[in-house]
Amino acid sequence: MATNEQSADNPRDAKDLIADFASSTVESYRQMETPVSRYLGVVVAPSLVFFLLTVVVYVVTDFPMLVALPIPLLGLLGLGVALVYPKILQDQKRKEIEDRLHLFITHMTILSTANIDRVEVFRTLGEEEEYGALAEEMRRITQLVDTWNQSLDDALRIRADKSPSKPFADFLDRFAYTINAGQEIEDFLLSEQDVVIQNYVTIYEGSLENLDVMQDLYLSMVLSMTFALVFSIVLPILTGTNPTMTVSAVVVLFAFIQSGFLLLIRSTAPYDPVWYHPDDQTTTAEWRIRISVAVGFVLTLFAIAGCLLVLLGQTSVDPNAIPLPLYAAIPTTPLLIPGFVARREEERIKDRDDAFTSFIRSLGATETAKQSTTTKVLESLRGKDFGALTDNVDDLYKRLNMRIEPRAAWRHFTADSRSYLIQTFSEMYLIGRQMGGDPKQLGELISANMNEVLQLRERRAQSTVTLVGVLYGITAASTFAFFIGLEVVGVLSGLDIGLDTNQFDFGSIIHTEVYDIDTIEYLLIVIILINSVLSSLMIRIADGGHKVNSYLHFVLLTWMSSVVAVFTSAVVGSFLNV
């Protein structure tokens, strides 16, 4: 009975999901800045024409099914993207708002503690381009107040109705009610901190759960593509089709699917960058990374040239003495240098983040207790151990003591730390102090919010470790399957066709002449490199670290795949040749 009820509910649930998706898509069309008629004529109509052309090409041409089928699918994909693009933009805006909402509310709270007009708070936040869609919303609120003479609470309600993010819309509604009731915005925002943080934790953890779902989907899709590639290698020996063409088509499809998952992971992963990259300053850490990248690429070029000379027989080394997959792995090895350098610098940034919470809390409490300037307080704090942040605190004191303008001194402090969180919260503290905020309150508020973010980062690190294990495991398993198929057809294609007899022609059922084993092996090495590149980028997006970190995983994945390929060829070949 329970099974029947579940089966009866599933279609209704699917219909509800489809209906929700359709209604949200229609709503996204209504909220577009571009008129709907113009979007349909400029974007959707050409996509429909392109889809019809791909269908015509599919019908007219006589390509094999495996090659011809992706043509109309490409046109269908273009039409589908054109139809749902407004919803994609709306979802991106919603995610951008929710990813930065906790920092935004904290910044607003700090500004509210200063003695400035409440509309000026919104105007100041509208100038912070770092907040993206949130800054745009602040500018629209101030525009409603300044240009259209709306009251602040009415402006908040208007924008709440237009917001794609429910948490942000709820916040604006509560804010409007508070202003209308005459409550101080400082009291309201301080009471909202717990609500905002809990919403952020929920959204962050939801993104991590979505990443786990993506891992399962990715695992299933890659296994399916692995079977497809193995079949495209083995089946032509029975069908007589061109295996080079079928393998090439599967390689392209494999790369296409992996690229799609890369985009999905990018849209799913929470926005929480580790690094801060100032536009007008290059620190010693950045110079070390740049130099290591240059050295790595130069050595890689030399390694590529050396491998080519060996392959072309221009050296005393026998080209056949080195297995072909290793020719793909050896040139990537120098990229380990920038990978390790970036990883070491990133670990230092994480150590500074851990120490910053205690530093900012101590700074705020001491400033309040001594009723003194930041320079005087830092003179006493510089003797304390703040771990990886100790040298940065000492440099901040020296700059302030040399009468360097406080904003410039703090800018150097955040640039040297290279931390996105330290830069964001340091700027909040500086603005709050300059506008007359209470240092102790500022320090405790910033410390509490940053601790929550650091705890979420720990969970993200655990999720990333799981993703790394999945990617390395499926890469090894796929490579093993690829080269088993290659060895099987290699042995079969080398069979003596003299087995033919007067009674039966074995060549009519075993088509060994269609195989070009060397070309297929090259294609498999290409797919190894494509998989290594895209998998390393997935890991980099999942952990939110420096882009150079992907070099490390790229090299390790390439070497692992190459070693598995050589091992598989040697072991399976020895068994089949017995």
Measured over the CA atoms of residue 254, residue 257, residue 259 and residue 261, the dihedral's sign is negative
Condensed to tens digits (0 to 9), the pLDDT of residues 431-486 reads 888 888 889 999 999 999 999 999 999 999 999 999 999 999 999 999 999 999 88
Q: What is the pTM of this model?
A: 0.86
Q: Assign residue 16 a region (left: φ > 0; alpha: ψ between -120 and 50; beta: otherwise).
A: alpha
Q: Give the pLDDT band of residue 370 (cuts 50, 70, 90).
A: confident
CA 140 → CA 325, 491, 506, distances in Å?
57, 70, 77
- Over residues 414-424, the mean pLDDT reads 94
- Flag whether pLDDT at 307 surpasses 50: yes
pLDDT of 494 reads: 65
pLDDT of 7 reads: 42
- Flag whether pLDDT at 83 surpasses 70: yes
Q: Comparing 237 with 411, which gets the higher pLDDT?
A: 411
Which residues lie below 8 Å from residue 342, measured CB to CB, with a gap of 6+? Answer: 289, 292, 545, 546, 548, 549, 551, 552
Q: Domain spans of the chain?
A: 15-91, 348-448
Contact 320, 536 (CB under 8 A): no
Rounded (10°) angle between helices 439-493 and 336-370 = 170
Output the six-digit token pair for 106. Answer: 């904290």
Contact 553, 468 (CB under 8 A): yes
Angstrom distance (rounded) from CA 343 to CA 341: 5
- Flag whether pLDDT at 14 surpasses 80: no
Q: Comparing 148 with 437, which gets the higher pLDDT?
A: 148
**Which DSSP string do the residues of 425-489 spell out, in sequence order?**
HHHHHHHHHHTT--HHHHHHHHHHHHHHHHHHHHHHHHHHHHHHHHHHHHHHHHHHHHHHHHHHH
Q: Give the pLDDT band of residue 11 (cuts 50, 70, 90).
A: very low
pLDDT of 361 reads: 94
pLDDT of 5 reads: 43
Helix, strand, coil abundance in the chain, percent, nearest 5: 85, 0, 15
Output the six-digit token pair for 359. Answer: 């530093």
Condensed to tens digits (0 to 9), the pLDDT of residues 393-406 reads 999 999 999 988 99
